[in-house]
Structure 1
Amino acid sequence: MLGSQRRTGRSSGNRRPPPSRHDEQDSVDLPPYEPPKCPLTDDIKRQLKELSTSRINDTYEKHTAESTKLLSTTVYAINERVTHRKRTAAQNAERAAKRKHSNDDAEGDDEGAAAERAEGAVQELEGEVSELATLIEEAMRGALDMQAALEDEKSVLRDLPDMVADRQRIALELAQQDREADEGDPEPPEVSGVPIFNVFDEARDAKAAEYDKLPPYEKYARNNSYIDFKQSWHEGLYENPDDIPLPDATKWFDRDGRPRLETRKDERQGGADADEEDGDEDDEIQIAREKRSFRCPLTLSVMREPYTCRLCKHSFEKDSIMEYLGGGNGRGRVAKCPEAGCHVEAMTAQDLYFDEALLRRIKRAEQAEREAAERSSDQEDEDEEEGSMDASHVSRASARRRVKAEPGGDDEDQADDDGSV
């Protein structure tokens, strides 16, 4: 009951197979279900309400929340892997082109062929990642459906005692009316208890039907977990995700409710090669480009454990902002955002959250910086090697010229000697 999914076509594949005849023989024969004979007592009502806050529900909720985080991390990782491979392939192709125009044409041809093979491998990887990312997005929506089903189920459990009592009261009133009409007996009739399972199933089915009627924008695009998922998807596609804005949430699904999955665009053109369907969008329906600093405004150092304020989206190093707010126990003081020019006047520790996406971008920028330094060092070594080779060629050419000049000089000296005799 607590682990039930939305009753959709996809959930049918997860149904438990029917027990075998052997299992049926070994199982204990249970008596048929009998509805309660009496109304629910106060103690039973309390126990029913406690089911909505049971440890089983808490564990299920924790696991689904962790699943959404893992899916966001995974979609970033696979998209970023393709981005990294494409960048490396482009750098290798550029280096091969430079070598081809240098003196070592044979080595340049070999590197050019290797660069072409690498480019083909990247294209193949990109296709596989696109299919995998599509499955991850579908799994993300499925996890959010499970969360919504759990919330609805908890709501039904909280209200179940009152719903059963209402059913009992209505049944009693109807029976009383029938008794008075038939016999005129004013005595209250005996009414059997209301089947609790039936009330629960009906209420849960009504909640599920209400949820299914919601458009995808209401189900997912306004959900913080799905927003983080789309942001992670976007950041994995580009080296500089701030240069290309994330499409507005109203454009994440088409008119038929199908997800519009973002594809990699040309960063040099700011995403100018977008799909024609998206090309007619106004500037207002895209999130404004934002340049976020990787340095904490309090320590002026690159953040290693960034915490971002939900109210203003400014980020800080955890230790420094907790010290600024008066401690990391969640009971710090209320203070103004320390970012210069920020309008937030009342920030507390509860307004901060660990910004995993920002930490990924920091690590990614540092990796790109290290790779750039390595390429610069390799280029310097190549330049020194080419310079040494050029100097060697010049030295050998000078030696050849000296060798050619020496025989002529001997003849002239010999002629002078002959003339003197």
Structure 2
Amino acid sequence: MPVASSSRRKSARSRREPSSDRIEEDYPSQHAGNNDDVEGGDDEEEQPRRKVKQEKKARRRARGDSESDNNAPAIVDDDDDDRIDIENFHNQPLDKKEGGKLSGIAQDWEMIRKQIHQGSFSLAKEVATSLADVLEGDNANQALSEVDDIMKTLIDIDHEMQSHEKVLSGMHQQLMRGEPVEDAVDLYEKEVKKRINEFNNKTTRKKYGSNDQYVQFKQGIFEVQKPGENIPPINDFIPREEGDESDDDDDLEIGGVTQNFKCPITLTMLVNPMKSSTCGHAFSGDAIREYLNKGPPSGKSCPAAGCSQKLTMAMLVADSSLEKRAKLAARRAQRDEDDSDDDDNEVIE
């Protein structure tokens, strides 16, 4: 039987026993402690993350605060890879794409401001007229002064909210014109502060004398306390300060009118009043409906004496505030009449 040569036996052993080099080549993951250096070892998502880590390590080395590889922490928070690098993130100007966002924020300010209008201002006016009806003398003056301060504070807040709204709207318009807005946050805060300071530096007359809410507030109190008398100009309720025009200047003169709480049709106290949006005259609801139903669909002349304005039902709006003031004025007038009768009876006795 022929004997295999030594060269053939060596060849057979090499086929049966793979070398260690061959094993490492086929199974690199069993020996490699870190596969950063293995080509193709990372998937497509892992490669960018490792690249960011390497860039961060390079920046830390440049600052001299990096740790040696032997002392590197064993756990690395991979969430850092997705965070914004604040130190190297510079302020960017706003462009037209952000215009819609600014417009939306401005509308939010407007919506909140209108809600305050509908609630807080109405409540303050109702409280003031109620106090004017039930209180007299020093008690009335003190209580109404406190409500007056609240009303002024509400107007101050309203102006501040308008300032935010108008500044944002102005920035939006600037972007829509194609003009970039640099340093948006600083610009926004600076312009809002400027508007608020300009308002605060005005005199009391200039801040509140031309404000419709405040004028209605003061008129409502006067109507209840002195029914039937002419309402004086608003400047008569606000002392003159340095910087105000002379009292002879009627630029801010609002008032000088009489609120008649009687219906021009029934000549009795207003009931469920409706006010004309064109001439401002008020009527009891049932009376004005009956009056207009007897006329042509195009409307009739206003039934108030001396008024020639055309009037239709579409021009009339319910006025609940006027109804409350009319009731308070009527009640106060009745009280004054009763007090007068009591005084006459005492004299006769």
TM above 0.5, yes or no, is yes
Residues of 2 paired with 1:136 and 1:338: CA distance?
37
Question: What residue in structure 2 maps to residue 254 of structure 1?
Answer: 239
Question: What residue in structure 2 maps to residue 313 of structure 1?
Answer: 280
Quick check: 1:234–1:246 contact (8 Å CA) kept in 2? yes
Question: What residue in structure 2 maps to residue 339 of structure 1?
Answer: 304
Name structure 1 gaps, 5 residues minimum: 1-29, 84-125, 170-192, 259-277, 327-331, 387-421
Q: CA deviation at 1:320?
A: 4.8
DSSP 3-state at the match of 2:240: coil
Backbone CA RMSD of aligned residues: 4.4
DSSP 3-state at the match of 1:316: strand
2:133 is matched by which residue type in structure 1? E
1:131 pairs with one of 122, 136, 142: 142
1:72 is matched by which residue type in structure 2? K
Residues of 2 paired with 1:150 and 1:293: CA distance?
35
Quick check: 1:294–1:362 contact (8 Å CA) kept in 2? no
Asked if 1:72 is matched to 2:125, the reply is yes
Question: What residue in structure 1 maps to residue 208 of structure 2?
Answer: 220
Residues of 1 paired with 2:100 and 2:314: CA distance?
35
Q: CA deviation at 1:363?
A: 4.9
1:292 pairs with one of 254, 260, 263: 260
- Change in Cα spacing, 1:372 to 1:217, as seen in structure 2 (3 Å) is closer
Quick check: 2:261–2:326 contact (8 Å CA) kept in 1? no
Question: What residue in structure 1 maps to residue 77 of structure 2?
Answer: none
Residues of 1 paired with 2:146 and 2:224: CA distance?
16
Which structure has the higher relative contact order (CA within 8 Å, separation 6+)? 1
Residues of 2 paired with 1:288 and 1:41: CA distance?
50
- Change in Cα spacing, 1:333 to 1:140, as seen in structure 2 (3 Å) is farther
Quick check: 1:242–1:289 contact (8 Å CA) kept in 2? no
Quick check: 2:151–2:214 contact (8 Å CA) kept in 1? yes
Could you report, residue by residue, the CA deviation over 1:254-297 in whole angstroms, capped at 9, with x for unpaired residues? 23279xxxxxxxxxxxxxxxxxxx9x999xx7955647252351
- Change in Cα spacing, 1:168 to 1:352, as seen in structure 2 (3 Å) is closer
* Larger mean Cα displacement after TM superposition, 201-210 or 338-347: 338-347
- Change in Cα spacing, 1:198 to 1:339, as seen in structure 2 (3 Å) is same
Residues of 2 paired with 1:209 and 1:370: CA distance?
47
> Counterparts in 2 of 1:150-189, with a 5 A limit?
150-163=161-174
1:47 is matched by which residue type in structure 2? K
Question: What residue in structure 2 maps to residue 242 of structure 1?
Answer: 228
1:145 pairs with one of 156, 168, 188: 156
1:361 pairs with one of 310, 318, 326: 326
Question: What residue in structure 1 maps to residue 217 of structure 2?
Answer: 229
Quick check: 2:272–2:318 contact (8 Å CA) kept in 1? no
> Counterparts in 2 of 1:189-208, with a 5 A limit?
194-208=182-196
Residues of 1 paired with 2:162 and 2:281: CA distance?
31
2:104 pairs with one of 50, 58, 70: 50
Could you report, residue by residue, the CA deviation over 1:127-184 in whole angstroms, capped at 9, with x for unpaired residues? 3332222121111111111112222221111121344689975xxxxxxxxxxxxxxx
Residues of 1 paired with 2:278 and 2:231: CA distance?
20
Question: What residue in structure 1 maps to residue 27 of structure 2?
Answer: none
Quick check: 1:221–1:252 contact (8 Å CA) kept in 2? no
Name structure 2 gaps, 5 residues minimum: 1-83
- Change in Cα spacing, 1:70 to 1:31, as seen in structure 2 (3 Å) is farther
- Change in Cα spacing, 1:368 to 1:236, as seen in structure 2 (3 Å) is closer
DSSP 3-state at the match of 1:242: coil
Structure ranking higher in helix proportion: 1
Quick check: 1:167–1:194 contact (8 Å CA) kept in 2? no
Residues of 2 paired with 1:248 and 1:72: CA distance?
18
Residues of 2 paired with 1:38 and 1:372: CA distance?
71
- Change in Cα spacing, 1:137 to 1:237, as seen in structure 2 (3 Å) is same
Question: What residue in structure 2 maps to residue 37 of structure 1?
Answer: 92
- Change in Cα spacing, 1:250 to 1:196, as seen in structure 2 (3 Å) is same
1:37 is matched by which residue type in structure 2? Q
Identity fraction in percent: 17
Q: CA deviation at 1:212?
A: 2.9
2:262 is matched by which residue type in structure 1? F
TM-score, length of structure 1 as denominator length? 0.49
Q: CA deviation at 1:49?
A: 0.7
